[in-house]
Structures are given as C-alpha cells and as structure tokens.
A and B are shown apart, each in its own frame.
Chain A
Amino acid sequence: MAVFIVRRLFSLAVTLLGGFTLLFILFFTLPSDPARVIAGGNGRAPSEAVIANTEKRLGLDKPVYEQYWNQLKDTVTLSGESFQTREPVSEMVTQRLPASLRLAIWAMLIEASVGIGAGVLSARRRNSLADTLTTTAAVVAGAIPVFVLGYLLTLVTGVYAFKHNWPEWARLPTLSNDYDPDKWFLFIPSLSQVEILIQPAIILAAVSTAIVARLTRTTMLEAQTSDHVRTARAKGLREKTVSRRHVLRNALIPVITFIGIDFGTIIGFAILTETVFQWPGLGSKIARAAGQSDLPVVLTLSMVVMLIYGLANLAVDISYAKLDPRIRLGGAK
C-alpha cells in the first residue's frame, strides 16, 4: 500500500512537471509577447523603450531556459508575483483556494445525494414516470452549456422573482459580490452566505448530477441481475437486506469512483460557473489572468488545480481498494 502511494505521488509529480512545461511552452511561444500586452494596457501604444523596460522588470529579457527555471522555482515555492498588479501569487492562492474548495465540496454533495438518489429511484421503479424523467433529464443535462443553465437560473431567481413579487426566499442575488470568507466555518456557510452559494453550487453540480444518476441506474440494474444477488434471494434474505447489502453496495463502487474523480474535474470546470456568478475562486482568476498574459498567475493557479485533481484521483484509487475487496493495490501480479 505504502509503495503504491509513493509510486503514485512520484507519478503525480512527473505529471505536474509535464503539465507545467506544456503550459510554459504554450504561453511562452505566444505570438504577441506579454511585455507588450502589459505595458500597453488600456489601449496605450508603448514605445520600444517602455517595452524593453517592462521586459527587464519581469525578467522576460533573459534566455528562455532561465525564465523556465525561474518560473518553476516561483511556482513550487509559491513566491511568484502577478505581472499585472505585482500582487504575490501566494496571497491569491490563500484567498481563492478556500472559495474554490467550498464551492466544489457543495457541488459534490449535491451531485452525490441527488444523483445517487435519482439513480436508485430510477432503477427500483424501472419504466415508471420517475424513471423516464430521470433518464431524460440525464441525457438533456449533458447537452446544456453551463453558462446557458446559469443564466436561465438567474433569469428565474434574479429577474422573474423580483418582477412578479415572488416570496423572499426565491429571490437570490445573481452575483457573488457578497462572498465573505469570515462568515464561513470551514466549508459550512453562515445563513447569509447560503444565498450566494446555492446557485453556483447547483449549476456546477448539474451536469455531474445527471451523469451520476445515469451511472447509478445502470450499475443498479446490472447488480440486481447478478448471480450473487440471486443467491442472496435464494437463501431467503429479505428484499430490503438484499437491496441494501448486496445490490447497493456493489452498484455504488463505480459511482463513488466517478464522484471522486469528478471532484477534480469540477474544480477545473468551475471556470465557467465562476465566471457566470463571479465567484471569487481559482477558475475565474485563471481565466482573467490568461486573457492578460499574466503568466505567473496562470502557471501557479493551474498547478494548484492540477495538484487537487491528481490528489483526488489518488484518494479514489485508495478508497477503491477499501470498498472492493477484490482489488489489491501495489501491483501484485
């Protein structure tokens, strides 16, 4: 087990280094050089001297391998500074990482509870109205862009609710300007923060919830017809015991795997949701920084996201072995 974890951590480090290098190469082969973009903010046309100065200040005049080394060092030690604002990147991480994690955790909770619930219901009452609704919703949800869904929701809660005098609880703020980290206990929001959390969390969870519901339905149906379940029934176990101990437990292994892996994906994909609701997380910052050629910010924050993604995958593989005794880690062939 320990060997397995060490090996996986090593491989994660290699992946992170590879990802860093790839992003570095991509951003540093930009046709328009960052110094020009940064010196020429607000439509100014900077003189060559100003550009040269900016290049020097940002260390962009050095040879590429030296820049690579400097950026790598800054990223690993979290000591980089924004090209644009000189703000330390470490500060951004400490501010924005909790916001991202909070949103992702709530999205995952919604995804797990609603998705598994709908899937189980759908499988138990096959071909019922609830089943048809779930499967249809699961298919359609995959086709709706996150931002269309987000605007649709804000149209209801932020526009119609006010226009038609809906009850107070249905009126929600469309933006997350009131996000206040002091009003949170770990990932538990105070009442006033629930208001701004609820919409982005639902939107971020929507697509994954649909996938989880569909996956749960399929695995439940498969498990219901498997041999060991037939044996359990033949033994005379009560239907309740059969479905709880034999069907559900086996059916949920792939579902939990998916949810775990999806945690990383959710953090990555939060860019769109965060942009719609202006949630102050990593994603919206990465998007803005990439648009401004703010390389240290993009590189460091992306690495943070990739690290979480990798750790989530590792956690899944470990819990996998715990859930399913047939799986042994550590490569005994």
Chain B
Amino acid sequence: MSDGRDGFVPDLPSHQTGVGTPLGALGLDVSLTEIGPSRSLFEDAWRRFRRNKLAMFGLFLVVFLILVALFGPLFVQDPTKLSKTYLEGPTNQHPFGLDNKGGDVLARVVHGIRLSLFIGILATVLETFIGVVVGALAGWYGRYVDSVAMRFVDIMLGIPYIILAYAFITVLGRGVSAVILTLAFTAWLQTARTVRAGFIQVKQLEYIEAARALGVSGRRIMLRHILPNVLQPVVVLMAIGVGSAILSEAALSFLGVGVKPPNPSLGLMVSDAQSFLSSAPYLFFFPGIAIILTVLGFLLVGDGLRDALDVKDN
C-alpha cells in the first residue's frame, strides 16, 4: 500500500524509511541512508551535495573530527597528566604547548573534541526525539493538544536561550549528563514546530484519507504514512543542531555552569585561557579553533543537506 505513495504526494518526495528506528541514527551518514532505500532520491541528493564545495568541505571536517575523536586519544598522552613545567609554548614534544597547570594542550584539545562531539550528537538525538514526538502529537491531534503544546513552545521561545539553559542546568546540576539533558530540553522547539507543520500539511492529503478509508489505525498512519514524509527537514535540523549544541555547550562551560573542570571541555579551556591572553595566547588559539572547526563542519553539512534535499529548487 505504501508503495503507491509516489503518485499521491506531489509536493513531497516519497521515501520509505526504517520507520521503527528513525531516530536511532547517530551520525549523518546513517541519517542520510535512512531517508530511503529509494535510491534515486538518495543518489540525486548525494550528487547535488557533492557539487557543493562548501558542503563537501564541511563533510570533510566532520569526518576528520570524528576520526580525531575516535582514534586521536590513542596518539596523545593522558590529558590529566601534568608535566613539571607549565605555560610552555609549542615544542616538538608538546606541539600545542603546555597550559598553566602543566597539562598538554594537544591532548586536552583532542579529548575536548571527543567530549564536544559526544555531547553534541547525543543531545541532538534526544532533542530530535522530543521534538518529533511533541510535533507529531500536536499536528496529528490538533485542538487542545496542539494549542497547549504550541503555547508551551512559544513560552519557551520567549525566554532568551541562555537564561532558559541556565535555569535548566541549575536544576539538573553540573556534569556531562546534565549538559546533554539541558541542551536537549531547550533545543527541541524548532524541531517540534517543523514536524507539526509537516503533519498538518500532510494530514489532509488524499493518500491519508485513502488509508483511513481502508481502516488503517491512527498510530500506523502517523508512523508509517506521515512521519517519513515530514522527516526530511528534520535531518537538516539535526545536522545544524549538532553544531549549535556544541556552541551552546562551549558557552555554558565558558559561563562556568557547564562541564566540570577535570573534564577537558573546549569552552572551559578558552575560559581558563582568559588570564593568559598576553603571556600565552596559544592556550586560547587551539581550543578556540577546535570549537570553530567542529561547529563549522556541522553547519556546512546542514546547509548542504538543505540545498541537496530541496526538491522544489532543483
């Protein structure tokens, strides 16, 4: 039945998904394949993506940084090990120099990237899950469910982001898991809005009416007939979401409410480097550049995906 969808949905590309685990994807490649075994769409999107130089550069950055996060720790020393010397500029032994406590900056940056990616990806998966569930319920049931949910979203969006995150993190306490939860609880709003809008649009199409007429259950219509058709913008939001989550994590750590000190957080490293700006600027440069490259990679991939998946434009 769902195979016959192509003809019914003029605006939306048809694609079938492994619907059971639409959110299980951690990395981008997985989410990309999830858009569908429907090869033509995937190949089309990939071809367009490949032509986009900026997007390919972003993909290169993301792959490179994931490799650094996975295998980098094998090549650098223990980030908590302290040398007897400290505040030493870059040398052969310590290519990024030593910080004010004698820690190897390279090791700390590599572990920092690992932590940033871990937090960013996990928070985004969680955030997407919340956003899709809330958006789907609001869009499908409409009426009171919709008003209440969207009113809540409006209120959350009305509070400046940092204050909201601050409030959540003071409740959840500091630490890696608290940061992940805070980022997820504060970032699902856009996803929910997007999914809701998609549900409202698709809900009234003829093939949904047909499915209802055939007696398909509401849950099945939601999961198998509507959800796959509204997930496309969500994939874009996910890629960009990882980037913004990493930015927010750095900001929270910088403000002193994020990850706790023994953990090598990039935001924390920049914050610590503040007092040594004139004597040891490398303490600030390396973690700063690491944050920028990580975020940039995901943002570029997100932008590229948006262009590649935008069927109307092509």
Interface residues of A (CB under 8 A from B): 14-16, 18-19, 22-23, 26-27, 29-31, 139-140, 142-148, 151-152, 154-155, 158-159, 163, 264-265, 267-269, 271-272, 275, 283, 286-287, 290-291, 293, 298, 302, 305-306, 309-310
Interchain CA distance A14-B151 in the complex, whole Å: 9
B281 contacts A155, C-beta separation under 8 Å: yes
Interchain CB contact under 8 A, B281 and A269 = no
> Closest 8 CB pairs between A and B?
A268-B160, A18-B155, A143-B296, A143-B295, A26-B167, A148-B288, A159-B278, A15-B158
Extra pairs beyond A145-B267, A293-B170, A306-B160 (16, CB < 8 Å): A140-B292, A140-B296, A143-B243, A143-B293, A145-B250, A145-B288, A145-B292, A147-B250, A147-B254, A151-B274, A267-B160, A268-B161, A268-B163, A271-B163, A283-B162, A287-B255
Asked, given contacts A139-B303, A143-B243, whether A22 binds B159 with beta carbons under 8 Å apart, the answer is yes
Option from A19, A144, A159 in Cβ contact (under 8 Å) with B292: A144
How many angstroms from the CA of A309 to the CA of B164 in the assembled complex?
Answer: 14
Q: Which of A14, A16, A143, A309 contacts B160 (CB 8 A)?
A: A309
| B contact set with A: CB distance below 8 Å | 54, 151-152, 154-156, 158-163, 166-168, 170-171, 173, 243, 247, 250-251, 254-257, 267, 270-271, 273-274, 277-278, 281, 284, 288, 291-293, 295-296, 299-300, 303
What are 16 A-B residue pairs whose CB atoms fall within 8 Å in the complex?
Answer: A23-B159, A29-B171, A142-B299, A144-B295, A145-B254, A145-B270, A145-B295, A147-B250, A151-B274, A159-B278, A272-B254, A286-B163, A298-B163, A305-B160, A306-B159, A309-B160
- SS class, residues of chain A in contact with chain B: helix
Which residues of the other chain, B, contact A269 by a CB distance below 8 angstroms?
A: 160-162
Q: Which residue of B lies closest to A154 (CB)?
A: B277
Q: How far is the CA of A268 from the CA of B162 in the complex (A)?
A: 7
The majority secondary structure among interface residues of chain B is helix
| Shortest beta-carbon distance from A120 to chain B in Å | 22
Q: Which residues of B contact A267 (CB under 8 A)?
A: 160
CB atoms of A151 and B284 under 8 A apart: yes
Tell me the minimal C-beta distance from B241 to chain A in angstroms: 13
**How long is the Cα–Cα vector from A293 to B296 in the complex, in angstroms?**
35
List chain B residues, Cβ under 8 A from A264.
160
User: Are the CB atoms of A271 and B167 closer together than 8 Å?
Assistant: no
Kindly count the residue-residue contacts between A and B in the assembled complex, taking CB atoms under 8 Å apart: 136
Q: Min CB distance, B133 to chain A, in Å?
A: 19
Contact of B270 among A147, A291, A305 (CB under 8 A): A147
Q: How far is the CA of A22 from the CA of B173 in the complex (A)?
A: 17
Residues of A within 8 Å of B284, CB to CB, are 148, 151, 155
**A26 — which chain B residues lie within 8 A by C-beta?**
167-168, 170-171
Query: Is the Cβ of B152 less than 8 Å from the Cβ of A18?
Result: yes
Q: A302 contacts which chain B residues (CB < 8 A)?
A: 159-160, 163
- Chain B residue contacts of A30, Cβ below 8 A: 170-171
Question: Complex Cα distance A151/B292, Å?
Answer: 14
A155's partner among B155, B161, B250, B277 (CB-CB below 8 A) is B277
Contact between chains at B159 and A152 (CB < 8 Å): no
Contact B288 A290 (CB under 8 A): no
Q: Given that A22-B155, A268-B162, A309-B160 are known contacts, is A139 also in contact with B54, CB under 8 Å in the complex?
A: yes
Are the C-beta atoms of B158 and A147 separated by less than 8 Å? no
Cα separation A18 to B274 with both chains bound (whole Å)? 38
Is the beta-carbon distance between A15 and B160 smaller than 8 angstroms? no
A306 touches B54 (CB 8 A): no
Question: CA A31 – CA B183 in complex, angstroms?
Answer: 19
Question: Contact at A306–B158, with CB atoms within 8 Å?
Answer: yes
Q: Tell me if A309 and B270 are in contact (CB < 8 A).
A: no
Given A145-B254, A147-B251, A287-B166, the answer on whether A15 and B155 have CB atoms closer than 8 Å is yes
CA distance A275 to B270 in the complex (A): 13
Taking the closest CB of chain B, its distance from the CB of A76, in whole angstroms, is: 17
Closest CB-CB distance, A275 to chain B, in whole Å? 7
Q: Which residues of A contact B160 (CB under 8 A)?
A: 264-265, 267-269, 271, 302, 305-306, 309
- The CA of A159 and the CA of B281, in the complex, are separated in Å by 10
Residues of A within 8 A of B154 (CB): 15
B162 / chain A contacts, CB cutoff of 8 Å? 268-269, 271-272, 283, 287
A139–B247 touching, CB < 8 Å: no
Shortest CB distance A140–B (Å): 6
A16 to B154, CA, bound (A): 10
Given A19-B155, A19-B159: A275 touches B296 (CB 8 Å cut-off): no
Interchain CA distance A287-B164 in the complex, whole Å: 11
Contact check: which of A144, A158, A272 meets B255 at CB < 8 Å?
Answer: A272
The minimal Cβ–Cβ distance linking A211 to chain B, given in whole angstroms, is 12
